[in-house]
Amino acid sequence: MSSKWNLVVDVARCDNCRNCFLATKDEHIGNDFPGYAAPQPPRGHHWVDIRSQERGQWPIIEANFMPVMCNHCDHPPCMAAAKNGAVRKREDGIVVIDPVKAKGQKEIADACPYGAISWNEQLQIPQAWIFDAHLLDQGWEKPRVESVCPNDVFRSLKLEDNEMQRLVAEEGLEVLQPELGTRPRVWYKNLHLVDKCFVSGTVVVNVDGVEDCAEGAEVVLKKDGTEVGSATTDIFGEFKIDRLTPQSGDYELEVHSASSGKASARFSLGGESLYLGVLPLTE
């Protein structure tokens, strides 16, 4: 079994600095790499695209950022759509669109379910991020997206598949749209920050007629009587329970403080994260 390239992308670490986006443009705009990629046009292409996702409701709101690029799938739809061997899967796992053979084949770009292949109107060819195969073949140890990232968002790994699967299990890594069966080699850590919901709220206690933040209260979230999440309120009395499936229906929330009482709430979760408001503790 041979080693193959994989890329791990940690969504929690990305702050939208766009160094990876700019480095890819710096590498390919005006530069021709025969057999790998024709020059990228100066405008319009996002071979490395930073997609943003806002979650929550005021006052508990967050923004997260997810780099998206060619997934270098083991079962690439682009290769299935290509004619004359215009797309090939290398033994090291990297997918390359041949810039000569792919000329005129717009269906290659249209076949990508991740929107990661761009169409070069001027050259009439589909183009995508090539995992910097041209640099790796020269002895580089990692692609430029990784080398320029100040936050360690990217981790390129050349491993046998069984080793990679162990890492996937250990770190809870996920791929985009696994139901498609394309078997991407780009893996995401903390993907819940863009594809799951959270519920939040503020717990308060009445002290001599004045509401004060209830720090250290225990919050338990239940669905159909079964606990599905828990949290402890912070110094501001706030809590957040994450990784909830959108459109998952009815939940019950229970709050308990040994010194200040309890509170409860019921809600139905749709497609967006929720702020349940201020929850006063009562005896």
**Per-residue pLDDT reduced to its tens digit, 211-229:** 999 999 999 999 999 999 9
Say if residue 178 is exposed, middle or buried (CB neighbours under 10 Å; 0-12, 13-18, 19+): exposed
The CATH number for 262's domain is 2.60.40.10
Q: What is the CATH number of the domain that holds 183?
A: 3.30.70.20
Q: What does the DSSP assignment read for 138-152?
A: TT-SS-HHHHT-TT-
Same-domain pairing of 189 and 205: no
Q: Are 41 and 136 in a shared domain? A: yes
Could you list the residue range(s) of the whole structural domain that residue 224 is in?
A: 197-280
The answer to whether the beta carbons of residues 263 and 203 sit under 8 Å apart is yes
For residues 37 and 122, membership in a common domain is answered with yes
Do 74 and 156 share a domain, yes or no?
Answer: yes
Number of domains in the chain: 2
Q: What is the pLDDT of residue 1?
A: 66
Residues 62 and 175 in one domain: yes
Tell whether 172 and 201 lie within a shared domain: no
Whether residue 93 sits in one domain with residue 42: yes
Q: Are residues 145 and 268 in the same domain?
A: no
Q: Clarify whether residues 141 and 100 are in a common domain.
A: yes
Which residues, given as ranges, of the chain have pLDDT below 70? 1
pTM for the whole thing?
A: 0.93
Predicted local distance difference test score (pLDDT) of residue 255:
98
Tell whether 187 and 212 lie within a shared domain. Answer: no
For the record, the structure tokens of 76 come out as 């690439």
Q: Are residues 189 and 229 in the same domain?
A: no
- Distance, CA of 271 to CA of 197 (rounded, Å): 8
Question: Are residues 113 and 177 part of one domain?
Answer: yes
**Spatial separation of the C-alpha atoms in residues 122 and 29, rounded to whole Å:** 13
When computed from its CA atoms, the radius of gyration of the chain, rounded to whole angstroms, is 24
